[in-house]
Amino acid sequence: MSQRRVAVIQAGTSLFDTPRTLDRMEAHCDAAAAQGVELAVFPEAYVGGYPKGLSFGAILGSRFPEGREDYLRYWKSAIDVPGAETARIGSFAAKMKAHLVVGVIERDGATLYCTALFFGPDGALLGKHRKLMPTGAERLVWGQGDGSTIPVFETDIGRIGAAICWENYMPDLRQSMYARGINLWCAPTVDERDIWQASMRHIAYEGRTFVLSACQYMTRADAPEEYACHQGNNPDTVLIRGGSVIVSPLGDIIAGPIYDREAILTADIDLDDVIRGKYDLDVAGHYARPDIFSLRVHDAPRRPVSFSEAVETLPDCKEEATVKPCS
């Protein structure tokens, strides 16, 4: 069956209060389930939060103690993958009987990653994608993902993958996902600008894929009182105004964009439109020129430290010119 109902959830985080955010997420999932959706996409950094306007006590060349406290608070609101929070999110997917994609702040040791998690309709955590290139000041608080987490999942409702916010502007990443046959392109974001709509339409048209972009809607009231954001302290101040959208494989907007409130956008789609669209443009197929261009994706994990069970024989220092430790 090629007919599917999909949704993007435009919602805000309760910043630095992950249990409260999960309560809000559950309510949104219940509302989406009542509309019969088979896939729901939540925004970037939804669980764990996007601390818009926070400086983390940094200027070029210096970091100040208050920024370290901000980072500690942010780290404490992040989640382990897998962990108790992912188990709870999985229960939302199981209750919905739907696939679920959600942006989280993942905690791995002392490092944080901006991550998209994928859940099946049985609640299972299918996998994750870590943002490859945090944008601007995000690099102060987020690590970079590697090529081992760029999945496209074959599911009974289509081939699902994700690119987070400005990753969508990385041509090589897009091409690698097109080559994996993606037809449900999830784009969690906090980019509220009008030009974002042009980007989503371009990707849909270029890749002949459905694009589901979920953006946060968050106000100053969603952050704690002790939150020194540069936009000020008026609770009504909008920090992220939304702009969520669903686009067809021919670049037509079929839901949204919507601004200045939380919302669930749904669309009934026909996955056969992906094949209809690729009739005259398949950038990873008949419209490619492998005789001229090539792309190699390094998809092995890149760990800074690795350990081997094999015992290496140390060199004889008398026979080695290089400086190495000796027993």
Q: Tell me the one-letter amino acid at 132.
A: L
Long-range contacts of 234-239 (CB under 8 A, 24+ apart): 239/52, 239/53
**3-state SS track over the chain:** CCEEEEEEEECCCCCCCHHHHHHHHHHHHHHHHHCCCCEEECCCCCECCCCCCCCCCEECCEECHHHHHHHHHHHHHCECCCCHHHHHHHHHHHHHCCEEEEEEEEEECCEEEEEEEEECCCCCEEEEEECCCCCHHHHHCCCCCCHHHCCEEEECCEEEEECCHHHHHCHHHHHHHHHCCCCEEECCECCCCCHHHHHHHHHHHHHCCEEEECECEEEHHHCCCCCCCCCCCCCCCEEEEEEEEEECCCCCEEEEEEECCCEEEEEEEECHHHHHHHCCCCCCCCCCCCCCCCCCCCCCCCCCCCCCCCCCCCCCHHHCCCCCCCC
Residue from 128, 131, 167, 215 carrying the catalytic annotation: 131
Give catalytic status of residue 165 as yes or no. Answer: yes
Residue from 44, 106, 167, 192 carrying the catalytic annotation: 44
Give catalytic status of residue 44 as yes or no. Answer: yes
Give catalytic status of residue 312 as yes or no. Answer: no
- Sequence-distant (6+) residues with CB within 8 A of 310 are none
Residue from 29, 106, 128, 165 carrying the catalytic annotation: 165
Which residues is 119 bridged to in the sheet? 100, 125
Distance CA 49, CA 225 (A): 15
Q: Report, as residue numbers or ranges, the catalytic residues.
A: 44, 131, 165
